[in-house]
Amino acid sequence: MKRQKDTQENTFTRREKEIKKHMEDEGKRLGGKHYVLVHGACHGAWCWFKVKPLLEKAGHRVTALDMAASGIHPATIHQLHTVRDYCRPLIDFMGSLPDDQKVILVGHSLGGLNVAVIIEMFPYKIEAAVFLAAFLPDTQHHPAFVFDQFAARLPEDFWLDTEFKSTGDPNQSLTTMLFGPKFMSLLYHLNPLEDFELGMMLKRPSSFFLHDLRKADTFSKEKHESVRRVYVVCEEDKAITKDFQLWMAENGGVKEVKELQGSDHMPMLSMPQKLSDCLIEIARKC
């Protein structure tokens, strides 16, 4: 039995080394891309902890950022008033890059809004914009339109135990949200229990900033169409359904759509290898 176990372990180790070498060779062939990973609402850069080393092992550079009042960022949600306030860490980071340096920008869930903001500001610094089960504003309506469409299609009890609060001046009220355990279970329904518990420990209040989005200008069609945009659909997502993801991709004029079969809303945790492979596949066309 011991010899059989040792043989199995050696076979597994060899296979692991072969996969690692293949990924490293692929990274070198691609010249080593720079991925910038943006989390969704109530989460932080921490949620990419499985994907980041996989992309790095493949020879790529990876930057995972906390948006303002997220993860370990020092601000609180009550100090933010606009989408740009929330997006400030990403804006500052992109602004610090040389004009000739391009990144593959990946936004998950609410992070799609951050990606849209960056396309508007730095289209020439983006090699590809990836929307991962993400909100995708279009260029025909005000930026809140896609969120309004999302809300209009939700069942009454969708938000479960999510806690909503309104703060600030009544004329410029900010509605914040904090996911409860039942709603988090909806997001993480195909994840290991340990990842769900990690999310429960690290979640922080967030916002859709709808009061700001309703006053904002429509995003530029010229700028957004100048960037290669890819939508990655999470097939088993119970939060942003597959149908709505496909609708957003079509409504937003995204011509390249990929699908992660068997994925819930949190593929960076439930299937990090498949997601990494998908992101590397996207890089091959850059």
- Those residues with Cβ within 8 angstroms of residue 28's Cβ, 6 or more apart along the chain or in another chain: 59
- The residue annotated as part of the active site, out of 212, 265, 270, 276, is 265
Backbone phi, then psi, for 261, in 5-degree steps?
-70, 140
Out of 85, 237, 264, 270, pick the active-site residue: 237
Mean pLDDT of 212-232: 98
Mean residue pLDDT across the chain:
93
Q: Which residue has the higher pLDDT, 203 or 4?
A: 203
CA distance linking residue 86 with residue 67, whole number of Å: 6
Domain residue ranges of the chain, discontinuous segments joined by +: 32-284
Question: What does the pLDDT look like over 136-164, one tens digit per residue?
Answer: 999 999 999 999 999 999 999 999 999 99
To the query of whether residue 109 is one of the catalytic residues in this protein, the response is yes
Tens of pLDDT, residue by residue over 230-254, are: 999 999 999 999 999 999 999 999 9
Tell me, what's the pLDDT at 241?
Answer: 99
216 pLDDT band (50/70/90 cuts)?
A: very high
Band of residue 173 on the pLDDT scale cut at 50, 70, 90: confident
pLDDT more than 90, % of the chain = 86
Q: What is the predicted pLDDT for the residue at 28?
A: 53
Q: What is the pLDDT of residue 5?
A: 47
32 pLDDT band (50/70/90 cuts)? very high
| Burial state string for 104-120 with b = 16 or more CB within 10 A and e = fewer than 16 | bbbbbbbbbbbbbbbbb
Lowest mean pLDDT among 62-71, 144-153, 160-169: 160-169
Is residue 237 annotated as part of the catalytic site, yes or no? yes
Given a cut of 70, whether residue 189 has pLDDT beyond it is yes
Q: Are 44 and 66 in contact (CB under 8 A)?
A: yes
Separation in Å, CA 271 to CA 54, 61, 220, 235, 267:
12, 20, 34, 12, 5
Residue 2 has pLDDT above 60, yes or no: no
Selected catalytic residue, list 70, 109, 263, 270: 109
Model confidence over 87-113: pLDDT tens digits? 999 999 999 999 999 999 999 999 999
Q: Would the pTM of this model clear 0.85, i.e. be above it?
A: yes
265 is catalytic: yes
- State in words which class domain 32-284 has: alpha beta
User: In the prediction, which pLDDT does 19 show?
Assistant: 53
Question: For helices 242-251 and 145-152, what crossing angle results, to 10°?
Answer: 150
pLDDT digits (tens, 9 = 90+) for 108-137: 999 999 999 999 999 999 999 999 999 999
- Stronger pLDDT, 147 or 23, i.e. the higher one: 147
- Decide if pLDDT at 166 tops 60: yes
Q: What is the mean pLDDT of residues 21-35?
A: 67
